[in-house]
Amino acid sequence: MEPHISGDDNTQESTQVSGVLASKTFLRTPTASPSGDFQNTTHQFVTLVSEGTSEENEPSSSNFDILKQVCEFGDSWVQKYPVPLSKYPQRPIRTGNLFYDGIIVDLELLGYRPLQIVAKARSGTVILAQNLHMLQHFQECETVPVALKLNSGKPRRNRPPSKTNMLDEMTIHRQLNHPNIVSWISNISYRGRVGTVMEFCENGTLEQVVKLQEARFLPETVARRYFKQIHSAIDYIHQEGFAHRDICPQNVLITQNNNVKICDFGHSVKFVSLDHLCEDECGSIGYQAPQMLEKVPYNPKVADVWSLGAMLYTICVGRLPLGTIRNDILENASKELKFPDSKILYVSQDLKWLLKGMLAYKPDMRFSMNRICHSLWICTEDKQVKIGNFYRVRQPQKSNEGTLETHVKEKLKI
């Protein structure tokens, strides 16, 4: 499905109707305008129709049905992740690890109905699932999926393991509670397999959002909005005595409310003052602090600051600050940070100053989280919100084009 740019509205409302449908309750889930230029959410709706719901008659999957809504042009839309989830089409799910594939059919016994694979990597597999524990709350069970991460990854050959043990990752994630961190729901353990159940963020990753743009970067106003939330989450993680060590756009998710949430604590470690410095190499190439590549002891929290700077540079400029070739990174890390020519891409002086401080080669010269928070670029308030400042990766897909829209397109020759 092609991604679209959209507005920032996502409220849900319950509507009572009269006449023939007087006995039915409509739970409408708006999906916003693709152009993002108006607040009227009547353009696209997916509706759950409930018959005879009351305090005596609790809603269940047997008395709900799905109803596609149409806009004024007569075209109809369907969700990327159809609701209700109980009617989600069954698809074969294979993690690539036969040991974990053996329990997929038994996940419903643990209270989670697998729907489809969302992401697959060396660290594991993330599966979209329905939380059957919420059956008594039909609306949440049928419209709010969860993400199930299974430890199905395979270790790389001839490379020492740097990834945190899955049990340690689950323990760390469970201790973190912040609006901009993916919410932990529960852990599962079944016949030697382990996994984590967490909040599902339906609008993809920050990396996908950046790739939607033709120039592969975001305006500073948009980047500032996202970065403030990312900084708040990482600062909280540091205050709780942990370091993330894998900060990159792939590990920043976008929620339906267009807020960002940090995920993947597979490389996180406990680190407080006077602890031994880390020596292992981990994280994503291009976002790793130079000291990590030089294989010298490093403070993981200070390394997180460098990774934050590399990510901010990437989403504002459209490329990594030092590239992805190991030798080039080591050669250029101590040199002055380069920016595109102002005739090609304008980067504000406040942002340049902030990036230079975050990407300083020497750890003791690198900005602290507190200094970043009080920098001029971060403290700048964007009083005007422009059209297109909010992005969505996954939008409803048009299933049928109305006759009025066809007529208008023919008339305007589009």
Residues labelled catalytic: 246
Q: What is the 3-state secondary structure of the chain? A: CCCCECCCCCCCEEEECCHHHCCEEEEEEECCCCCCCCCCCCCCEEEEEEECCCCCCCCCHHHEEEEECECCCCCEEECCCCCCHHHCCCCCCCCCCHHHHCCHHHHHHHCEEEEEEEEEECCEEEEEEEEHHHCCCHHHHHHCCEEEEECCCCCCCCCCCCCCCHHHHHHHHHHCCCCCECCEEEEEEECCEEEEEEECCCCCEHHHHHHHCCCCCCCHHHHHHHHHHHHHHHHHHHHCCEECCCCCHHHEEECCCCCEEECCCCCCEECCCCCCCECCCCCCCCCCCHHHHCCCCECHHHHHHHHHHHHHHHHHHCCCCCCCCHHHHHHHCCCCCCCCCCCCCCCCHHHHHHHHHHCCCCHHHCCCHHHHHCCHHHHCCCCCCCCCCCECCCCCEEEECCHHHHHHHHHHCC
Residues 6+ apart with CB under 8 A from 126: 117, 118, 119, 120, 147, 148, 149
What pairs with residue 48 in β-bridges?
Answer: 27, 66
**Euclidean distance between CA atoms 59 and 62, whole angstroms:** 8
